[in-house]
Structure 1
Amino acid sequence: MPTNPALVALLEVDFTPYFDCPVDLTSITLSVADGGVVDDLNGPAGLSLPMTCVPHDHVTFLYRLSPQQLDLPSKNPSRDLDIHIEAVIRKNPGLCTPRLSMTWTTTLDFTLPVNPGFNAAMQPMQPIQRSHRPSQLSISGMEAAQSLVAPAVSRPDSLPALEAATRTVEAPLPELGITMTFCGPTEPIYAGEVFSWTVYVVNRSTERANNPAVPARKLALVALSKRRRNEVRLMRPPSTSGKVKTAADSKELADAVLDENVLHAMQRNSAVDSTEVVCLTADTRVGPLAPGACHVVDLQFLPLKEGLVNIEAVRVIDLGSQEHVDVRDLPIMFVEKRPEERKTEQTRERE
């Protein structure tokens, strides 16, 4: 008897603190292509729609997805899952109630285990239970045998199709367990006026039963200015001016004192980009942060020119382990002209 190919889907809806009014979830629809079956498992938990949510709410919905019985012997077990969510924002009841409608499609994989009877057949007659016994036999070689942990356990938030596509072995990146959100100012930015970024820091690490004493995290934030990447100079490049030296006169003819190619290369490499923005907060300390704690800090900047300005990155340093991560996905800084300067330019253009 084959194993049931049904999957359990977790749909998480997170309301950020930027919502300043209640939101009503009116409809959530999941549909599997080619006539799949979707069972709603939210009834016992009391999650029924419509549902009123407020900022900082995090709601998780459970669904059981299974293909039709006629589709089991199909050669292509992949199916498309369509997700549709509708919500009403109660900004001003009776006057302003915008409606949101979100729809996206993802891929599901209803592939059966390689040997579905391995676990059930060995269970009654196995006298010694092993904690790391695999749930199925593997025939895909050494790549699949590198880890006995199921992808659904190691990555519970990923879909089966993404688990099958990420079998390549990559070098692990340092996981600091910290979530950071950078928020720029909502008002216009002018050259010569100080503005601030608001940084929200959350310690996502949790205390475990076997290690309840998790130390608090201490962090440092350092803004890195833009660096020129072509600063390597050739101290003495070969001279190309004049006649070609031969073996006979190589000892008598010296290199040119002033070579036009060398002069051009030195002038090009000696150009230094002007500073666009200066960080006034040289060293920002965060913490100590206990597991699950959050902190808010401000980074102050002074723009020196108009237009699009940016910095290289914001380096997050763990003061306990001395590990660091460079955050490069930062808000866009656009420095505008002052209103009086715009009026002056418009007056000059008219004249």
Structure 2
Amino acid sequence: MASSPGAPKTRSSAEFVESSVLEAIVPAKSDVNVEEELRSWNGTVEDESGSILPTISQRTVLLLDEQLSVHVVFRTPLLDDAILRSYLARLVLNLEAYAFSTGPPPEGEPKAGPTKELIFSTTIKDTEQPSVVRHGEGEGAQTFVMWKVEAFIARPQGRFHKPAVYFQPMASFKPASTPKRVDPEDEYLPSRVPTALNLLQAFENDPALTGVHPRLSAMRINKIAPSATSVVKEMVRPIRSGQRPLFRVLPSLIWRVRYARVHASLSDLSLLVSLDLEVASYATYDVRIKKVDLTLHGGEVTPFANIHDPQAVHKPGDQITYLYKIRPDVGADGTPALGDKGHYLTMTVSAQVLMSPTCHPNISIDWKTPVDFTSATEQSASMLKTAHRLSTPPTAQAPSPDGLPAYDTQPPVPNDTTPNTINMTLTISGPPTVTVGDTFTWTVFITNRSPQPRNLAVLVIPRRNRHSDKPHHHPRPSTAPSTTAAAPAPAEKHLLAAAVVDENVVYAQQKSARTETADLVCLTTDIRLGPLASGACYTADVEFLALGTGVLGVESVRVVDLGTNQSVDVREVPGVICVAKEV
């Protein structure tokens, strides 16, 4: 019995594959109903090589960072519902988007590079239920199966001149059942297969082997691996794809982030962030910015009083600035908790582009960049040294030649000053408390304020023993015979003094002398630097070992000019409190 016109026919899988077409469509309207548009189509086709849905107009321009709805349309001749569902269950659908250049690169730029780049890829899962629409009657009746896929137009990593994007849907038809292949337990010695050639057969009659029959199978040398092409792969059939329209791609928003140091306390490592969003002028589309958000990994972000109106429409060329204050998490030592590479600033922007009265695509920007707070830490350390130097009150009297004047309190250099005068600024900083037996470090910051380069040496002078000149016992009176010498003539000059011959005086001096141990030992003998240019600075570390408890210090820090051998002692040096170790 012949089937009636328009009734679904029973087709084999081969006919189903050969007569089906797959195509990706991007409608020009944001809220288009593809099913209603398809039902209202009269079936007229003006161009046989055009789209399988000619009644739906498509977009010509796409935007970077756009959340796009792509309709994957599968067209096949009219089939019975049960057969159609069984065939659709065997379909494997993929959708990919590629970016490539549509023009040659500018002059001077290398032409080498990738021809295209994959920016989006997804697989349509079996759980996603498609829309099925039957259209037409008689021999021209067809079935349209449509899937709606949310694609993201990511920014390509490569540089493409006049970039464009195209979508490539791919579908393959799996077999109804997977044949089972019985693998032998031992692939080297399968059953019912002749044994391989014996490579040592020529040595069987060797009298030196005394009856031993050596054997080496050729399969042990050249393994014959089983074929990797399975029967399933041979039976998978691809489905023909329709046209692939090209879409120009443009950015709608351009952003820039700038950082500035916050003028606050020295221990505050916060940075001022300026986020500039600019509406691209060459896109010629208005933009409505819905949301702008900044987050810091390993810290906190505080927005300023930015007036953000999500309903405001920004014209091409407009620039919107947002201000934020970012502060990292600080460790026990006052430095950023995650170091110089652990803090990341993430920017999230949601906006809507008004391309036409019926097309309002949405864009979503998720951008991340590292933030280095260690430069702020180094700057804070330098400012701490400057504050320590400025906090020393200047003396009203004339400066002592034993100390260097501070930077702000030093009088201007007169014109008749000799070039050999040492004109330096010395700042010393160190820990306030240390433990007995531990080493610690002083940081010496030297600035050359003289108009000429200097070769310098820095030495640490230990504290003097002030009890050596105060004997505890009075010397006994001398009992040695004294010798009286004749008075010399007035014209006679003695080059050497008279020797001390009284042993009582020498004995008393040695007995009364006190021997004291050093409480603070400098492990750095000297620091030599230079030539240090005019206006340049240098930072050096001086290491000490604490051996006693209490308030320890040194006598002075001596700066020696190696060119002129002039020296000056800095006596206002910091002290350190040394405590005993806890048991």
For the superposition of Structure 1 and Structure 2, which TM-score range results when normalised by the shorter chain? 0.3 to 0.5
TM-score where L is the length of structure 1: 0.38
Q: Which has the larger radius of gyration?
A: 2
TM-score where L is the length of structure 2: 0.24
